[in-house]
Chain A
Amino acid sequence: MNSTAFNRVFWKDWQQIQTPVFVVAALLCTVQAILIADGFFRLNWLMPRSMISSGFLYKMTLIVPFLMAAIVAGALISQERGRRTWEWSSSLPVPWYLNVISQFVNWLLALVITLTPMFALASVFPLPDIYVKDFVNQFANFLLIGLELVIWLSILMLVFKESVTGMMLGLAAFVFYEFANRAFSPFILWGDNSFQKSPVDWYLVQIGYILRSTLFILGVIVSICLFRWRWTSGQEYRFLFPGLRSNEVPGEALIQNWNSVLPSREQPAERKMVLFHALRSMASSQITLIAIVMFIAVLYWLTIVRLWDRQTAYGIALTLLYGGIFPTTGIMAFSPDQFGNRFRFMADRGVGPIGFAIIRIAIALSTATFIVLVAWLFYGRIDGFDHWEPFISATDLWIALWFPAIAVTSLGVFASLCFNRTPMAFVATCFAAGFGTMIYLTFVGYGNYLILPDYYPGHKSEYFFSTLGSVVATVTMMMFIIAGVRRWMIVDRFAGGRWFFSAWATVLIASMAIVIVT
């Protein structure tokens, strides 16, 4: 291996991921530090450590492999393909395998950089026994799942030319794989529960592990072969709908193409026609999103009875909805038009920013509402009442699902205005939604604690306060969107949006510190 060549490839890859990696690491370390400070204060006041805080710390540590997987795969494969930088790189005399090795090393490095300070900080105040008990097993499993996610994302991003399509279908394929894995291989269990079964079961567990490992290795081989093929063939092959649009658009950019207004053979010339085209094209992409959700919902419905750990499955389903589908629904409002300044096409034809924004927002919120309906029917009716005791009626459950969904979708819409890079918009939405929810719930929790001494998480007053928070968040987002869309479309592409988000993140973290101090 030529070390100079490898060093250059590694340098190039690292430069592309270092900012998000350090940002993620810094944010997680900040959260850890705040939780530790929280524990320190509680210790001084002889108060028990907050179970919410400990649980958050624990979950954050497990979520990191997923986050790193998405960031690395998104930045190193989808971004390079989407921006066509791979074409130039692959025209240089650099072997394809150097790139594969470099990407893998970068993934490991990103993981180490993020986890090391987190573990160091967490060791100051160890986790409660309830979490420590199975932590190593759980972490190893989540690391393996993180690697599986890398493989799925890589495969789909290599197949599809455009980042959002590849990422969404990669996530859908990954979820399908995980559900199928658990539904059709009931003996592949996590943790030490599997070893409490009979010797026959133990052997079946081993067979299950071997099967899963085999599938993983097969996935690695497929992704490497795809990588090699894409690298050496110059990215030109199309898979879906060739000739659907004009030559300017990659044929396989399934969702992003549909969602964008572009000069094409059927180029609408008048303002109303442009608006209609915007409506129709976005509807197509949202239907695709709904189809993915319904597919997963049906899968959930079919497999849930076979899962021994229904609570985990329910948690994964909700996390997928609120951490993946709703942010994406929102982001699909404006993000595709950011690519190549496509929004200028509409602005040049006299489309007003407010009218355009209303159409896009209405479609995004309608989609979110429909998805909530699906979730309510498939997830909520099955498990919602079991897990959320305060709900006494189906309406409560509907409201509990719908308001946060609208808030997260609105946040996604706003992020798609602020960031011209889709992965950044996605990460920003998830972080803002996650931190915002956590801090708000903490405030509500303290409020409840003061008002109701017998407060416990999940109390109905908390549920109503949470709904109120979602309403406030939605209204605020709508105001920001209406204020920002004109700057975005006509003035300066809303250049200050990303700084607005950064300031917001700072405020969120500061609020968290204030919560602890008070």
Chain B
Amino acid sequence: MQPVIEIRGVTKRFGKKTVLDNVTLSVPRGTVFGLIGENGAGKSTLIRGLLGYHKFNSGTVSVSGINPVKAPLALRRKTGYVSDAPSFYEWMKVIDVAWYAAGFYPDGFLDRFCVLATTFELPQATRVRDLSKGMKSKLALALAMAFQPELLVLDEPTSGLDPVVRRSFLESMAETAAEGRTVFISSHQIHELERIVDYIAILHKGEIKFAGPLDELKNDVQLLSFSQRDPLVALPTAIDKLNILRRQTTGRTLAMLVRGLTNDTVEQLSRHTNLFDVKAIRPSLEELYVGFTRDSVVLPSHSSSRTEVA
């Protein structure tokens, strides 16, 4: 299937600073795609480039088969965008904002907006300046969804929403994807993303650390930890054969994010006389994220209820 977003070897520099470095991503149609990364990782730069706000220094981008820089208007007719801090005309009423936006889209925008506004409990006769932050976020979402775009690009969409609306919104994103449309979410709410995304990309200092199905990430990468009786004794050779992504030593305890860890290896380590308390668990997305973006590993909690591999 033709991906909705196709990014190949994209690099973006501001002066001497490289914000995005050889980024390659592919977002399949009809999925919820999550982009996570720390502040300043380059998420907003990537999103703005996808929407045609700036050219990349190198690489190619295609969104819904459109080059964003060459045909930004055509792209915006197919793409709904919610920025991290949407600012509307404060003197307008909610319904005025929708009426204004409806002038640039095909018929039916206003009707669908009214339905969404009812769902989000948006007071249509209220002026924007009298809306709370959460209400403004709801307004931005309703506007972005009202023309049923092929692609929804959401930059921190749930900030300011109360838990009930947040849950309802996330469910609606999954439904949107089920209808064959694509949702591209950039967020810091990793717990929430974990519940709804099909694909995930981790961006760190302008580089993609991982991009692929979330299940693949969670099945492939494990958090291995063990303690040593004598730290001066060499570690077993099985450790050297592992694909270690991150490693952290705290006292006599070692924790590491590893790829391709097998049950046999865990068994082998458990039998080693110098090692004890050997654990291999499937980390949460947050632990994976920390592992990929920091030079540290979150040590597994003893009270963790998660599945232990061995």
A residues near B, CB below 8 A?
A: 4-5, 7-9, 11-12, 15-16, 83-85, 87-88, 91-95, 232-234, 236
Which 3 pairs across A and B sit closest by C-beta, in order of nearness? A8-B103, A84-B87, A234-B53
Please report the C-alpha to C-alpha distance between residue A95 and residue B140 in the assembled complex, in whole angstroms: 21
How far, in angstroms, from A83 to B91 measured CA to CA in the complex? 12
B53 touches A93 (CB 8 A): no
Provide the residues of chain A in CB contact with B51, threshold 8 Å: 91
Given contacts A4-B103, A88-B83, A93-B77, contact A232 B72 (CB under 8 A): yes
Q: How far is the CA of A5 from the CA of B105 in the complex (A)?
A: 9
Instruction: Let me know if B87 and A7 touch, CB within 8 A.
Output: no
| Residue in B53, B90, B103, B105 whose beta carbon sits within 8 Å of that of A7 in the complex | B103
Task: Given A8-B104, A236-B53, verify A87-B87 contact (CB < 8 Å).
Answer: yes
When the two chains form their complex, are residues B54 and A5 in contact, meaning their CB atoms are under 8 A apart?
no
Which chain B residues have a beta carbon within 8 Å of chain A's beta carbons?
48, 51-54, 72-74, 76-77, 81, 83, 85-92, 99-101, 103-105, 140
The answer on a CB contact under 8 Å between A234 and B54 is yes
A233 to B54 Cα, complex, angstroms: 6
- Given contacts A91-B76, A91-B83, A92-B76, is CB(A85)–CB(B104) below 8 Å? no
B48 to A236, Cβ gap below 8 A? yes
CB–CB B104/A93 < 8 A: yes
B160 to chain A minimum Cβ distance, whole angstroms, is 16
Given the known inter-chain contacts A93-B76, A232-B72, please indicate yes or no for A85 contacting B89, CB distance below 8 A: yes
* Neighbouring A residues of B74 by C-beta, 8 Å: 93
CB nearest neighbor in A for B90: A83
Contact A88 B53 (CB under 8 A): no
Would you mind naming 21 contact pairs between A and B with Cβ atoms under 8 Å apart? A4-B103, A7-B103, A8-B99, A8-B100, A8-B103, A11-B100, A12-B89, A16-B89, A83-B87, A83-B90, A84-B85, A88-B83, A88-B88, A92-B104, A93-B74, A93-B105, A94-B73, A232-B52, A232-B72, A233-B54, A234-B54
Name the contact of A5 in the complex, choosing from B81, B90, B91, B104 (C-beta under 8 A). B104
Inter-subunit contact B103/A85 (CB<8 Å): no
- Closest chain B residue, CB of each to CB of A19: B91
A95 to B54, CA, bound (A): 16
Measured between beta carbons, the chain B residues less than 8 angstroms from A15 are 89, 91-92
Chain B residues with Cβ under 8 A from A7's Cβ?
Answer: 103
Q: Enumerate chain B residues within 8 angstroms of A85, measured Cβ to Cβ.
A: 87-89
Given contacts A15-B92, A85-B87, 10 further A-B contacts (CB under 8 A): A9-B103, A83-B87, A83-B90, A87-B86, A92-B101, A93-B105, A232-B72, A234-B48, A234-B53, A234-B54
B73 contact set on A, CB distance < 8 A: 93-95
Chain A residues within an 8 Å CB radius of B83: 87-88, 91
Q: Give the shortest distance, in Å, between B58 (CB) and chain A (any CB).
A: 18
Chain A facing B: main interface SS? helix
Task: Check B53 against A232 for contact (C-beta < 8 Å).
Answer: yes
Query: Which one of A11, A87, A88, A232 has the greatest number of beta carbons of chain B within 10 Å?
Result: A88
Closest to A15 in B: B91
**Nearest neighbor of B44 in chain A, beta-carbon distance:** A236
CB distance from A105 to the nearest CB of B (A): 16
Closest-CB distance, B20 to chain A (whole angstroms)? 14
Q: Enumerate chain B residues within 8 angstroms of A232, measured Cβ to Cβ.
A: 52-53, 72
Query: What chain A residues lie within 8 Å of B81 (beta carbons)?
Result: 91
Q: How far is the CA of A236 from the CA of B14 in the complex (A)?
A: 11
Contact among B48, B77, B87, B91 with A88 in the assembled complex (CB-CB below 8 Å): B87
User: What's the Cα separation between A84 and B84 when bound, in Å?
Assistant: 12
A359–B72 alpha-carbon span in the complex (Å):
49
**Structural contact, A12 and B72, CB atoms closer than 8 A:** no
CA distance A233 to B213 in the complex (A): 32
Q: CA–CA, A234 to B54, complex, Å?
A: 8
Chain B residues lying within 8 Å of A234, measured Cβ to Cβ, are 48, 53-54
On chain A, the residues within 8 Å of B100 by CB distance are 8, 11-12
Interchain CA distance A254-B231 in the complex, whole Å: 57
Q: Would you give the shortest CB distance from A340 to chain B, in whole angstroms?
A: 11
Contacts of B48 in A (CB 8 A): 234, 236
A76→B90 CA distance, assembly (Å) = 14
* B103 neighbours in A (Cβ, 8 Å): 4-5, 7-9
> What's the least CB distance linking A335 to chain B, in Å?
18
Complex: A9 Cα to B102 Cα, angstroms: 11
- Minimal beta-carbon separation of A3 from chain B (angstroms): 10
Nearest opposing residue in chain A for B147, CB measure: A93
Which chain A residues border B105 with CB–CB below 8 Å? 93
Contacts of B87 in A (CB 8 A): 83-85, 87-88
Least distance between B86 CB and chain A CB atoms (Å): 6
Q: Quick one: closest A residue to B69, CB to CB?
A: A232
Contacts of B91 in A (CB 8 A): 15-16
Instruction: Give Cα A485–Cα B253 distance, bound, in whole angstroms.
Output: 59
Q: Is the CB of B53 within 8 A of A233?
A: yes
> What is the chain A residue whose CB lies nearest that of B89?
A85
- Complex interface: chain B residues within 8 A of A84 (CB): 85, 87
Q: Which residues of A contact B54 (CB under 8 A)?
A: 233-234, 236
> B104, A88: Cβ atoms under 8 Å?
no
- Cβ contacts under 8 Å, A4 to chain B: 103
Q: How far is the CB of B31 from chain A (nearest CB, A)?
A: 23
Taking CB atoms, residues of chain B closer than 8 Å to A236 are 48, 53-54
CA distance A513 to B77 in the complex (A): 57
Contacts of A83 in B (CB 8 A): 87, 90
CA distance A11 to B103 in the complex (A): 11
Give, as a whole number of angstroms, the nearest-CB distance from A235 to chain B.
Answer: 9
CB of A23 to closest CB in B, whole Å: 15
Complexed CA–CA distance, A504 and B73 (Å): 48
CB nearest to A3 among chain B residues? B103
Chain B residue with Cβ nearest A4: B103
Closest B residue by C-beta to A79: B89
A15 to B105, alpha carbons, bound, how many Å?
Answer: 21
A88 to B87, alpha carbons, bound, how many Å? 6
Closest A residue by C-beta to B45: A236
In the bound complex, how far is the Cα of B73 from the Cα of A236, in angstroms? Answer: 19
CA distance in complex: A8, B96 (Å): 10
Distance of A386 Cα from B245 Cα, bound (Å): 82
A206 to B85, CA, bound (A): 52
In the assembled complex, the CB of B107 is this many whole angstroms from the nearest CB of chain A, namely 10
Chain B contacts for A87, CB-based, 8 A: 83, 86-87
CA distance A95 to B101 in the complex (A): 13
A84 to B77, CA, bound (A): 21
Return B44 CB to nearest CB of chain A, in Å.
9
In the complex, which residue of chain A has the Cβ closest to the Cβ of B83? A87
